[in-house]
Structure formats: structure tokens, C-alpha cells
Structure 1
Amino acid sequence: MNISRSEQRVLHVLAQGGFIRHQRCDNGRISHIECFTRDGHLLTDCTLEVFARLHRKRLIESRASSPYRVWRRGREAVRSQTDNR
């Protein structure tokens, strides 16, 4: 699957235990998102455009209005990266 560098970055954070919080506007569409790492840091690379592409490709999902997390298909699509800790 063809995944851009910014999508890859977000998927990597989500695969390590991060999540995406979303806010909806009055018409029900998602208007604002924030991507958090498992340590609670905010990831600035995750924009609404990147979020929409990941959601359209069904690599992330939300169950019962909870924050978005990586789905099994997303874990398979992410390339391994070294963790620079």
C-alpha cells in the first residue's frame, strides 16, 4: 500500500500506543483532531488531511465514540522504524 511519510509517522505513533482525539462540529463532521503519543505528547504532524487519508484507507478506527486508534490493517501497513529513545 502506498503511504506517505506523514501518514507513516502518524501510524508509527499509533502502533506504539498513541491515539487521536477528535471533536465534531454541529453537522456531525470532524472539525478538530489532536494526536497524542503513548507518553502524552502532542504530535503536530497529524493534520485533518492526514487523518482523512488514514480513515479513508481504513487504517485507523474509533469504536463507541472513543479516540481513534490503529487498526489491524494499519499495523500491517506501517513500516518498522527505530525508536529513538
Structure 2
Amino acid sequence: MNISKIEQRVLHALAQGGRILYERAPNGRVTAVTCVTRDGLILSDCTLDIFGKLRRRRLIESRASSPYRISDKGRRNVRAQPDNR
């Protein structure tokens, strides 16, 4: 699967324990997203467009209205990096 560099960066943050917080409009659509790393820092690369691509490809998922996290498919598709253990 072809995953862009920015999408890889977001998936790595999620694979290391990060999460994507979101806000919904009254009609139920996601209007704003914030990617938070496990250290509590905000990843500015995570935009609504990137969020939509990851969600369409089912690389991230939300269970029971919790923040979005990486899915099993996302874990299999993320490339290895030196800082992962």
C-alpha cells in the first residue's frame, strides 16, 4: 500500500501510543482533528484531509466513541523507523 510521508509520520505517532482527538458538528461529521503523541505533544501534520485518507483506508479506528487509534491493518502497513522498539 502506498502511504505518503506525512501519513507515515501520523501512523508512527499513533503506533507509539498517540491518539487523534476529534470534534463533531451537530450533523455528525468530523470538523476538527488534533493528533496528540504519547508525550502530550501536538503533531501539526495531521490535518482533516490526512485524517480522512487514513480513515478511508481503515488504518485508524475509533471504538465506542473513543479517540482514534491505529488499527491492526495500520500496524501492518506502517514502515519501520529507528525510533520504534
Smaller-chain TM-score bracket: over 0.9
Partner of 2:62: 62
Q: Is the partner of 1:31 in helix, strand or coil? A: strand
Aligned-residue identity in percent = 62
Deviating beyond 3 angstroms after TM superposition, the runs of 4 or more aligned structure 1 residues are none
C-alpha separation in 2, matches of 1:27 and 1:40: 29
Across the aligned residues of Structure 1 and Structure 2, the Cα RMSD in angstroms comes to 1.1
Partner of 2:13: 13
Amino acid at match of 1:8: Q
C-alpha separation in 1, matches of 2:61 and 2:39: 20
C-alpha separation in 1, matches of 2:72 and 2:14: 11
C-alpha separation in 2, matches of 1:7 and 1:22: 17
Q: What TM-score, normalized by structure 1, do the two folds share? A: 0.96
Partner of 1:32: 32
Q: Between Structure 1 and Structure 2, how many residues are aligned?
A: 84
Give the Å deviation of 1:11: 0.2
C-alpha separation in 2, matches of 1:26 and 1:38: 29
Partner of 1:43: 43
Give the Å deviation of 1:26: 1.1
* Structure 2 unaligned blocks of 5 or more: none
Q: What TM-score, normalized by structure 2, do the two folds share? A: 0.96
Amino acid at match of 2:62: S
C-alpha separation in 2, matches of 1:21 and 1:62: 10
